[in-house]
Amino acid sequence: GATALTTVILGEGIEVIGEAAFFHAVKLNAITLPTTLKTIGEDAFNDTSLTSLNIPPSVTSIGPKAFLRAPIESLVMGGMIEDLTSGAFTGRGTVNGVWQDFSICTTLRSAQLNLISIPAQLFYRCFELTELYLGDSVETIGNSAFYEASGLTSLSIPNSVTEIGEGAFRSSGLVSLTIPTSVQVVGEEAFAYSAVESLDLGLGVTELANGAFRGIPINVAVIPKSVEILGNTVFDFVGKVAIIVESLEGDIEQFSSSSFGSNTQVFYCLATNTDSDYYPDCIDDDDDNDG
């Protein structure tokens, strides 16, 4: 019976894996999926021993609990997945009473995502996730997608991403963060209480929502001149920090003081820098390269 299977190779031409096809195949630890596959049904690999999973780009739908309780450590997911049902992968818990995809996972260590949109709460509280690759197909990162991914210390956000959702990386382990010029919106508390010490905001961001960087341990932040909307307490509870606003008109206060939070020092200045260090001349006028 299926309970004795250890390895499965599915041939090219197969488009659908039906409901509960390999349900409770508890010894199944390796599967090769064909490039013709389109649909993985409900409970298809529920309660298996799969540790590595490569979902081909042809797959457009993954059903509920398809990989429930599978101890997946390495995931490659790509292509045009249009229907990724809540609970497709999770093995441990729910978020607000709803089974989520990889939420509260304890085994996942690495993930390579070539999706167009990363679903909300996909890796919610995946503490063990340490390696994450986002392909240049990714355009949006959903709300709380990597919430409390505390093991994730580095990430390259591709220049295809236009929006980072609410709480997407809240309380994550990210230390250095570069937001590419493609990103227009950084959602509410997107990186709040994460470990970010170095922040580079791309000249393309138009909106930083409420608390986007609240509680991160930085000393200096530069808000590019492209920013038009700045929410409340974007940099609140970050300790003593200098906020440099690249102004098109020089020393003109264009944002409310409530946008920056307590214990911040805000400088509005033209984005000129003659001594090649990090600070624009408006706060570093000694021009001696010592910062």
182: CATH: 3.80.10.10
Final residue in a domain of this structure, among 47, 75, 108:
108
HSE (CB half, 13 Å, CA atoms) of 228? 4
Q: Are residues 55 and 121 in the same domain?
A: no
Q: Residue 66 is part of which domain span? A: 1-108
- Domain count across the chain: 2
At 98 the pLDDT is 46
Q: Are residues 89 and 231 in the same domain?
A: no
Q: Are residues 244 and 286 in the same domain?
A: yes
User: Whole-number mean pLDDT of the chain?
Assistant: 84
The per-residue pLDDT for range 225-282, each reduced to its tens digit, is: 899 999 999 988 777 788 888 766 555 567 888 888 777 888 777 656 565 555 555 6
Q: Are residues 102 and 119 in the same domain?
A: no
Q: Are residues 282 and 194 in the same domain?
A: yes
Q: Which of 72-76, 101-105, 217-221 has the lowest mean pLDDT?
A: 101-105
Q: Are residues 86 and 205 in the same domain?
A: no
Q: Are residues 37 and 123 in the same domain?
A: no
At 94 the pLDDT is 42
Q: Are residues 92 and 167 in the same domain?
A: no
The per-residue pLDDT for range 212-221, each reduced to its tens digit, is: 999 999 988 8
At 276 the pLDDT is 56
Q: Are residues 95 and 165 in the same domain?
A: no
